[in-house]
Amino acid sequence: MKYSELADVYEKLEKTQSKLEKADILAELFSKAGSDDLPKLVFLASGRVFPSYSEEVIGIADQLMTKSIARATGFSAGEVEEKFKETGDLGLSASHFVEKRKQRTLLSKELTLEKVFENIRELSTIEGTRSQKKKMDLIAELFASAEPKEAVYITRTVLEELRIGVARGIIRDAIVKAFLKPEDMEEKKKLTEVTENAFNITSDFSKVAKIAKEKGVKGLEKVEVKLGQPMHVMLGEKVDSIKEIIDKFGKVAVEYKYDGLRAEIMKKGDKIWVFTRRLENVSHQFPDLVEFCKKALKPDECVVDGEILAIDPKTGYPQPFQNLSQRIHRKYNIEEMTKKIPIQVNIFDIMYLNGEMLFDKPFNERRKILEKSVKTIPKKFQLAKQIVTDDLEKAEFFYKQALDAGQEGVFLKVLDSKYVFGRHVDGWYKIKPIMETLDLVIVAATWGEGKRTKWLSSYVLACRDQDTGSFLPCGMMGTGLTEEMFQVVTDTLKPLITEEKGKEVKIKPRVVVEVAYQEIQKSPTYEAGYALRFPRMLRVREADRSPDECDTLERLKKLYKSQGREG
Ligand code: AMP
């Protein structure tokens, strides 16, 4: 297929806002493509050359693109930069210079879709010495044959900013229309579901399109889990009360809702993959988890679903998510981090076992299979805490236990529900306390240690006694701040210090901060009589709130009661 055909379609897509029209335009193009071109076309139509879960990156920044345009067209990088400043869009700049180009190579020939796709893909494989030059050559080679319109979209695709408003639903609908040709609305709905499901399993529309073209709906229905290729996951609907779910379904499974990172774990013999909910491969970041899996997962092949928690290396107690987040994108010192921030994994589902997909089995049956498949490593790799009950009191008690254990809440899972991707009724329901944020005043602080000596790094928060106007401490906050925030807060507090004793300082109550927290507890240690659990700073309320407008003890009491743990 000629790349110009795609460029024409991009242009049409840019001109319409209508999703229906966009899907129609794409369907027409998809149905024209041959089997070899189709996967490439589907990728390019979504502005990419790799599936979203792939670790490959094109990795070309504006600067290198500017140089490539210059090299291909015979203008200087300075001239291209000027144009970029003027248009704000490198794609348009590329098109301008391609139109005016000073040299047209003899080799120039009509661009094919394949050529564009392959050259862009190749960019991700180039490393080492002279890699910049090699990358420029690949891009310049495309520009050498490109028409101005094509140059716009080549540039944007390489920079990974196509911006033609083609979301995943549009690609899916275009595939349905092009290859499955539904005859009425009902059929369209069913075929759309099958296509969506195939995408959820493969996470790759280029594959889905090829199967739809070659094997139709029957092929899509037979799409299989491939170990190493992440699938989408099931999520929960939010509900306000446990009662409404027990009233509707009777006996349900009540599980801890752990406050950590979703892990989709795939095992094939010795090989273990760990993917996040956004399908990022984090196996490399969690070598400890990989080791647990090798010992704890009994089947030769399986896919299980769970939640990774950070734990305190001394106490073994779960830590807030922020601690774990330091491990997620880490590239270096990974071994060291496994010691500094050890983890615990709680597994709650199994979707695949030795060649068999378990999506259609009821939840309680999957749980039984899971129990047989996991050899628990206590406190490290275990099954999610669960009770099965229709007794509201028991369920609520369990919910409180989950909160006491520092977790977010509970999931209520319908016993005969299938594993369905995304959020669905009659599946999983989640309950967590809806904590409104509080505006509190900083009344004292402590100078930090080590790397933090230059900052005031933990803050005593206070609410206002509505009767006397005095400020009553109700918690201490030291986490949740970035380095910049520490600096800003320190700069703001320093002039307000009234007393200094060792590392501790008292602060004039002037600075109001908005704070999120896990819950409010009764506390004899704080003057307010209440303490915030895991307070996290959201922002300093600089201009919009004065200390006498901050939240009162009365409000704290009310929020405490609303958690339903009075007594
Ligand atoms: P939310 O992010 O609030 O929509 O909640 C969904 C997330 O809760 C999932 O993606 C999981 O990471 C997490 N989670 C924690 N515990 C469980 C559990 N027992 N079952 C299912 N998901 C859980």
In sequence order, the 6+-apart residues with CB closer than 8 A to the CB of 67 are 77, 80, 136
439 CB within 6 A, ligand 1: no
3-class DSSP state for residue 408? coil
3 state DSSP class of 437: coil
* Å from CA of 340 to ligand 1 middle: 25
Specify the fold of 237-431. Answer: D-amino Acid Aminotransferase; Chain A, domain 1 (3.30.470)
Backbone phi, psi, residue 143, to 5°: -60, -30
Considering just the CA atoms, what is the radius of gyration of the chain in Å? 28
State the pLDDT at residue 544.
Answer: 63
- Model-level pTM? 0.78
22, 257, 413, 430: which is the annotated catalytic residue? 257
Q: Report which of 271, 277, 281, 286 is spatially closest to residue 229, judged by C-alpha positions.
A: 281
| Ligand 1, atom 17, residue with closest C-alpha | 257
Q: Which of 162, 163, 166, 199 is nearest to 19 (CA)?
A: 166
Atom number of ligand 1 nearest to Cα 259: 15
pLDDT for 479 equals 65
Q: Is 97 in the pocket of ligand 1 (CB under 6 A)?
A: no
CB 406 within 8 A of CB 518: yes
- Whose alpha carbon is nearest atom 10 of ligand 1? 262
Residue 124 C-beta-side C-alpha neighbours within 13 Å: 15
- CA-CA distance, 53 to 203, in Å (whole number)? 7
Contact (Cβ atoms closer than 8 angstroms) between residue 216 and residue 406 = no
530: DSSP letter: E
Vertex 163 angle, CA 162 and 166, to 5°: 100
The CA distances from residue 344 to 111, 263, 327, in Å, are 52, 12, 13
Identify the residue whose tokens are 């700073």: 537
pLDDT at 567: 36
Report which protein residue has its CA nearest ligand 1's atom 22.
Answer: 257
Spatial distance between the Cα atoms of 457 and 446, rounded to a whole number of angstroms:
6
**Polymer length of the chain:** 567
What gap in Å lies between CA 206 and CA 49, rounded to an integer? 10
Tokens standing for residue 140: 């310049």
- Whole-number Å distance, alpha carbon 307 to ligand 1 midpoint, is 7
Which residue's alpha carbon is at the smallest distance from atom 16 of ligand 1?
257
The closest alpha carbon to 534, from 550, 518, 554, belongs to 518
The predicted structure's pLDDT at residue 330:
85
Nearest protein Cα to ligand 1, atom 23: 257
Q: Is 423 in the pocket of ligand 1 (CB under 6 A)?
A: no
3-state helix, strand, coil in the chain (%, to 5): 45, 20, 35
Residue 367 CB contacts under 8 Å (≥ 6 apart), including other chains: 253, 349, 386
Centroid of ligand 1 to alpha carbon of 407 (angstroms) = 11
Q: Please report where in the chains the tokens 């807060």 appear, as a residue.
A: 489
Instruction: Give the rounded distance of the alpha carbon of 80 from its chain centre.
Output: 36
Separation CA 92–CA 82 (nearest Å): 12
Full DSSP string of 89-157:
-HHHHHHHHHHT-S---TT--PPBHHHHHHHHHHHTT--STTHHHHHHHHHHHHHHH--HHHHHHHHHH
For residue 464, give the amino acid letter. Answer: R
Torsion of CA 348, 352, 358, 362, to 10 degrees: -10
| Closest Cα to atom 8 of ligand 1 | 257
Residue 348 in contact with ligand 1 by CB distance below 6 A: yes
**How far is the centre of ligand 1, averaged over its atoms, from the C-alpha of 260 (Å)?**
8
Residue 542 is predicted with a pLDDT of 63
What pLDDT is attached to residue 562?
A: 77
Does any ligand 1 atom lie closer than 6 A to the CB of residue 232? no
Q: What is the pLDDT of residue 22?
A: 95
Q: Which amino acid is at 435?
A: M
| Known active-site residue 102 | no
The rounded Å distance from CA 347 to ligand 1 centre is: 11
Q: Is the CB of 257 under 6 A from ligand 1?
A: yes
> Ligand 1, closest atom to CA 233?
10
Task: Report which DSSP code applies to 385.
Answer: P
Q: How far is ligand 1, taken at its centre, from the CA of residue 334, in Å?
A: 25
Do 237-431 and 438-562 fold alike per CATH?
Answer: no
The SS3 call for residue 55 is coil
Please identify which residue in the block is written with the tokens 């296509």. Answer: 195
Rounded to the nearest whole angstrom, what is the distance from the C-alpha of residue 559 to the centroid of ligand 1? 24
pLDDT tens by residue, the chain, 567 residues:
999 999 999 999 999 989 999 999 999 999 999 999 999 999 999 999 999 899 898 989 899 999 999 999 999 999 999 999 998 899 999 999 999 987 666 556 789 999 999 999 999 999 888 999 999 999 999 999 999 999 999 999 999 888 888 888 999 999 999 999 999 999 999 999 999 999 999 999 999 999 999 999 999 999 999 999 999 999 998 887 899 999 999 999 999 999 889 999 999 999 999 999 989 999 999 999 999 999 999 999 999 999 999 998 888 888 877 678 789 878 899 999 999 999 999 999 999 999 999 999 999 999 999 999 999 999 999 999 999 999 999 999 999 889 878 888 999 999 999 999 988 888 999 998 766 789 999 999 999 988 888 999 899 999 999 888 889 999 999 866 777 778 888 988 998 998 899 999 999 998 998 898 878 999 999 999 999 987 888 777 765 677 888 999 999 998 888 776 543
| In the chain, domain spans | 237-431, 438-562
Is 349 close to ligand 1, i.e. is its CB under 6 Å away? no
Buried b / exposed e across 449-469, counting CB within 10 Å, b at 16+? eeebeebbbbbbbbbbeeeee
Ligand 1 contact via 398 beta carbon (within 6 Å): no
**Among the CATH numbers 2.40.50.140, 1.10.10.10, 1.10.3720.10, 3.40.50.720, which is that of 438-562?**
2.40.50.140
E-strand spans in 448-496?
456-464, 471-477
- Please state, in angstroms and rounded to a whole number, the distance separating the CA atoms of residues 149 and 425: 46
CA geometry: angle 397, 385, 393, nearest 5 deg: 20
Parallel/antiparallel/unpaired status of strands 381-383 and 343-353 = parallel
